[in-house]
Each structure stands twice: as structure tokens, then as C-alpha cells.
Amino acid sequence: MGYKLPQFWEIKDGVKDRIEHYNFYNNHIDPVSRHPAPIQPYVEETKDFLFQTRTKILRRLLIIMDQVLGLPEGHLWSLHDDGAGRSGDDLLRYMMYDPLSAEDAKKTSGVMLTGHTDFNSLSMLVSQPITALQVLMPDNVWRYVKHQDNAFVVNLGDQLSWKTGGILRGTMHRVITPPADQRHLRRLGVFHFAHFINGIPLDLLPSKRVQEEGKTIFNDAIPTSDEYVLLHYIFCQVHLY
């Protein structure tokens, strides 16, 4: 929550990251008073932007996925917002990448953030012109994501992928050092990370297509959305320390 300082994660062989980020949350876990005084005048405006992306973009994307999976319209949205006051702990993140030194970039083969899938349901990144984001394609080749003005880059996360039984797949992505003419620039990112409501079981969706074509992910105990988030953070802490 809040601020992440740079050089907190290890990229490779002792090289630490150059990433700073700051989070704003969707709901009651993030009151204005929690933020530093210089940020407080902007909290409501920032969270309104988060609200707009939830209701005008996320909701529409989920309705399209309902159609693809053969679910009633609004089913996936109801897992993010039940209309009775319960909603996922979505967050809006401002993220800043400072350039790696030439020596560190050589050690990491140019990687600034290692390949990963997101652990939430769906992620949206405001497209920006620094050439650095790559996606691992089905032929096992990393390819750049092309910038488009006024567009969002959408990543499917683990939790939604698992509930589809892998019919919709989580996006493996990474950030690498930009080309030479951009290498000296800071890379700025604005992200919306959508989350299921706490307590949603990560089992297969009640869709005929998912039940017939999807793969069962959890054979024994099925974790809930918030249990998996907790397990993810515990794993990260163990990995870091």
C-alpha cells in the first residue's frame, strides 16, 4: 500500500530495481487521511479516475468476456462489484522507471522488470511511448507492445485465467531497457489493477464452455481471491528476504 521505494526488488545477480510506485485504492481501506499531506488535495480526483476506469472500461471488457465464455451478461462484473456495497480492492498505480546503468543493464541482459503474470483479475495500463513493454507470445518469443495514443494495454491476470480454466490465459510480460534513443528517459506508467471481491472462490466459472473445455486448476482446497493475494505477498516476502 502507498509508496514503494526503488532498489527494493532484486532483478538478477544483485542488481536492484530502479522502480518507484505509489498506489491509490478503490474503497474504505484507503481514506484521504492515509496519504501524505502534499498528495491529499489530489486523492479524490485520482480515485474518481479509478472509478471511471472501473465502470466505463473494466465493466465493458468483462461483459465481452461474458459473451465469449457463455455467461449471463454482468456475471463477471458481479464478482468485482455486487451492487450491494461490496467491491474488489482495485488500485490505481503511478509507476516510474529510472534507467539502469550500462553496467547493470549488461548484468540483467537489459531486463528492468522480470517476466511475470499479474496475480489479480485484470490489469489495464495507459499506453505510453517509451518502448520497453514486451509480451511472451505462443511461439516463446518476447515481442514489443506497440504504443497507441489514447489506448489501454490490457493484461489478463492469474485469478480470472484460473476461473476460466485457462481458456483465457494470463499474460506473461516484462519490461526491458528501451532502445538507445530513449534509454536516458524515465518511463512513466499509470495502471489499474482490478480485483475480485474478497471471498470469491477461484474455482471454474458456471459456464458450459468453461466446464467442458477448461482445466481444473485446484484439485483439493480451493483458495479464495483474498487468500491468494495473501499467499502471493507472503511468497514475495520470502523470496525477497
Q: What is the pLDDT of residues 109-139, one digit of tens each?
A: 999 999 999 999 999 999 999 999 999 999 9
Above 80 in pLDDT, residue 239?
no
**What b/e sequence results for 157-187 when a residue is b if at least 16 CB atoms lie within 10 Å of its CB, and e otherwise?**
bbbbbbbbbbbbebbbbbbbbbeeeeeeeeb
Q: What is the pLDDT of residues 45-88, one digit of tens each?
A: 999 999 999 999 999 999 999 999 999 999 999 999 998 889 99
**What is the radius of gyration, based on Cα positions, of the chain?**
19
Q: What is the pLDDT of residues 150-171, one digit of tens each?
A: 999 999 999 999 999 999 999 9
Query: What integer is the mean pLDDT of 80-106?
Result: 94
Which residue ranges form the domains of the chain, and what is each CATH number?
Answer: 3-240 (2.60.120.330)
Hey, how many other C-beta atoms are within 10 angstroms of the C-beta on 73? Answer: 11
- pLDDT at residue number 162: 95
